[in-house]
Structure 1
Amino acid sequence: MTVKSADAGAATPGVTPPSSPNVPRRAGVLPGERALAPDLARGIMLLFIVLSNTAFHLTAARHGPSGWQPVDGGWADHVVQFGMITVLDMRIYPLFAFLFGYGMMQLFLRQRAAGTPEREAVRVLRRRSLCLVVIGLLHSTLLMAGDIVGFYGLLSLALGWLFLRRGDRALKWWIGIATAQFLLLAAEPVVSALLSGELGTLGDAGAEPGADAYGADEGNWFAAAGTRFTSGLYVTFAAAPLSLVGGAYFIFLLGFWAARKGVLEEPGRHLPLLRWTAVIGIAVGWLGALPAALAHVGAITVPDDAQSESGVLTLLRDATGNAAGLGYVAAVALFVHWWKGRAAREPRRGGGTRATAIPATTITATAITAVSAVGKRSLSCYLAHSLLFAPVLADWGLGLGGHLTSATMALFAVGVWLVTVAGAYALERAGRRGPVEAALRRVMYRR
């Protein structure tokens, strides 16, 4: 088997790591090993996540049948709501799942290529998963009930144990099985309702709004923490196992497979795959969410039940979100390929060319470096979002969320993300890791 490293364009053919327990275990990523595409994708993903997490902080807004996006506001607010539903809602979780699986396999392959015994490499990943579950539960209880770190921490425990060491052929079979499982359970009711023309057969517009599960409208922090704790337990210990039953883990396994092939490290070798994935994935994802977005802003008239969280339009939006998430990753990889080609053609200050380095003198290069710095410290920046969001916006804090609209809240979210970009860039210039990543490494590698 060919073991890929995280170095852009590097691979180590035919590596057979020694099995002796006396072989020193490497402690994580070494300088120069990180590939640009995964980090840049994670940095952009965090902007999408912080935008997606704005709706439930609008505590004074009137929520529609979906129970999530508000229905009030001016034309700018409706434009933002339309864009959120079409581009972001339930499109970022698949993006996160793919990158999570990709990074997990990268870590395993690095350990094996460096000579770490297989069992010890698995133990490293298991400790990481357990730490993420703990971090996720603390995050949801203290600040933000919609935490996804604990969700994927628990999911990675199961999927790592079941699939991390399987061969490529078995992995492909299970990707196919999980995809069929997902389409059967998630898409079949949607297709039936659409073909029958009875859009109101699914859903319940009278159900409790999903935004209530976040406790942002609670004036007492302890009461809000109780709500968040319950929601966090459900997301981590109920929703994660249900995703295994529903087959949604196929996108996680796609991350495993793509990491083995070095798709994001070497995008130039996978251009047809990336182009088709970007075009088809984004088109399917946006078109699948379009009916829900049009219904939300009143451009089309459908039963309220069809727009509810379990309604046919919402289910259609969610089912096609996986395609959009994959399309976003592919689009970033294609951009990185184009950017590196441009960088290779630019002269060095002292003559010659640079094949992989990014010209440090351009504004675009600085922006790419800063956003990828966020991706390198994605866990720290993700938690920092909630630290900047919750105390300022929630009713138990300053309560600013009760005075904002969809448009102004989106501007606030972008501002929060830019603060984390500045912080991550400063750490990058100083050669320091994110604080949460540094602590996690100490537990993972016990050094």
Structure 2
Amino acid sequence: MSIQGGPTGLQERALGPDLARGFMLLFIALANSHYFVGGDRFFGGFPSDGSPLDRGVGLLIATFVDARAFPMFGVLFGYGVAQIVRRQRAAGNDWWPIRKLLWRRSLVLIVLGFLHAMLLYIGDILAAYGVLLFLGVWALRWKDRWLLIVAALALILIALPSDDSLAAAAEGPDPSMLPPTFLGQFADRIVVQPFIAGLGWIGFVTPFLIGLWAGRRRILERPAEHLTLLRTTALVGVTIAIAGALPLSLVVGGVLTRPGDHALTILGPLHDATGVFGGLGYAALLVLIARRVGDRPMTRAIAAVGQRSLTCYLSQSVVWAVVFTPYLLDLSDTLTATRTALLATATWLATVLLADRMRRAGYRGPFELLIRRITYQPRRTAATRSRNSGSLA
């Protein structure tokens, strides 16, 4: 059993959210893989040349994965925060200690994210989520309607026309992504990382707040009580995500010609904003699948990835660093979009095997243990001092 008010024990976790987190890491691996491919590129970092197979793979990723995986991460992240709050309140803790606990957790994510970006992968999202959590603790006591109103306003903000799509269409891998030297890597990334961490969280406000709202109702943990909502969310969310992606994904796939710059400033934000609906839809769909399939060896193995999502996420970056960094294997100009997608899938499958081995051994994972120890240790230390002083008295 887990300690009162501490992290959720492995045997107490619901299958649905963990299965969703596990599949989410496959989507994240696929979403990151094409950024390393050399050559000219189009919207979202997709290569603008390549074989028909490469273009087809790009079409699938742009339609079903790109800007859809990370919103699902945001939903599950907010949901997990709501779980922590619920356990802390059930243990009798007041709001201020809960905020401090979550601030410790956010600082761990920010520090880990900084090290991750400096050493392995500049496209880190941990630090951005750490900043989001640091600010998001003030939303914990908001009424439901304010969570949803602010979530809607944030979604409107990211849907506004933006020139970011033009930059994404024009730039290939730069020195911060593929550093030519080990020492130069730090000089390039130290300039870029603060902007990613300081601004990247804005795009995840909507799924985070909706995750908080869903977590209050335990929707993903108790799907039988929310079947209509989950089915509607899965159908509507995935449909909107596909429809919003097609104007650009068909260009990535070579079916349509590249639109003009003005159209890109509209279609790019549309692609990202509809991806939020996709993140919600995927989370609901995977929970429904977990309910239907049940506790089987494969679902347990994938859920084990979700239970160790931080360790598995960082493991992916080790592969990216070794395979693509110029002073290591330097395969950026060798691997195509198809091969990098296969590499991403193989990497995820390797983490499934690794996580399942840890599950069988009853081991959480090194980075999960680290973040829990730092998050909860001050409370345990204070409780120990209190017990000791009481016994001495």
Separation in structure 1 between the aligned mates of residue 220 and residue 178 of structure 2, nearest angstrom: 41
C-alpha displacement of 1:77: 0.6
After superposition, residues 148-297 of structure 1 pair within 5 angstroms as 148-160=125-137, 162-166=138-142, 170-183=143-156, 185-187=157-159, 189=161, 205=166, 209-212=170-173, 215-240=176-201, 243=202, 249-297=205-253
Do the aligned residues in 2 keep the contact of 1:129 with 1:154 (CA within 8 Å)? yes
Q: Which protein, 1 or 2, shows the higher relative CO under an 8 Å CA cutoff with sep ≥ 6?
A: 2
Give 2:59's match in structure 1, choosing from 68, 82, 97: 82
CA separation of 1:214 and 1:84: change in aligned 2, threshold 3 A: farther
Percent identical across equivalent pairs?
38
Do the aligned residues in 2 keep the contact of 1:27 with 1:445 (CA within 8 Å)? yes
CA separation of 1:121 and 1:321: change in aligned 2, threshold 3 A: same
> Where does structure 1 lack aligned partners over 5 or more consecutive residues?
1-6, 8-23, 191-201, 341-357, 359-364
Deviations 1:241-267 (A, max 9, x none): xx2xx7x51221111111110101100
2:314: which partner in 1? 383
Q: Relative to structure 2, which stretch is displaced further, 106-115 or 207-216?
A: 207-216
1:32 aligned onto 2:21: no
Do the aligned residues in 2 keep the contact of 1:39 with 1:376 (CA within 8 Å)? yes
Deviations 1:178-203 (A, max 9, x none): 303532x343549xxxxxxxxxxx67
After superposition, residues 36-185 of structure 1 pair within 5 angstroms as 36-58=15-37, 60-64=38-42, 66=43, 68-160=45-137, 162-166=138-142, 170-183=143-156, 185=157
Do the aligned residues in 2 keep the contact of 1:57 with 1:394 (CA within 8 Å)? no
Secondary structure of the 1:120 match is: helix
CA separation of 1:225 and 1:431: change in aligned 2, threshold 3 A: same
CA separation of 1:271 and 1:389: change in aligned 2, threshold 3 A: same
Relative to the length of structure 2, the TM-score reads 0.90
Q: Quick one: which amino acid aligns to residue 330 of structure 2? A: G
Separation in structure 1 between the aligned mates of residue 164 and residue 366 of structure 2, nearest angstrom: 43
Question: Greater helix percent: which structure?
Answer: 2
> Where does structure 2 lack aligned partners over 5 or more consecutive residues?
381-393
Do the aligned residues in 1 keep the contact of 2:308 with 2:368 (CA within 8 Å)? yes
Do the aligned residues in 2 keep the contact of 1:203 with 1:312 (CA within 8 Å)? no
Relative to the length of structure 1, the TM-score reads 0.79
Give 1:315's match in structure 2, choosing from 254, 262, 269: 269
RMSD, aligned CA: 2.2
Do the aligned residues in 1 keep the contact of 2:234 with 2:281 (CA within 8 Å)? yes
Separation in structure 1 between the aligned mates of residue 140 and residue 357 of structure 2, nearest angstrom: 35
Q: Quick one: which amino acid aligns to residue 361 of structure 2? A: A
Q: Quick one: which amino acid aligns to residue 223 of structure 1? A: G
Secondary structure of the 2:12 match is: coil
Do the aligned residues in 1 keep the contact of 2:151 with 2:210 (CA within 8 Å)? no
Separation in structure 1 between the aligned mates of residue 258 and residue 57 of structure 2, nearest angstrom: 21
1:329 aligned onto 2:329: no
Separation in structure 2 between the aligned mates of residue 227 and residue 250 of structure 1, nearest angstrom: 31
1:361: which partner in 2? none
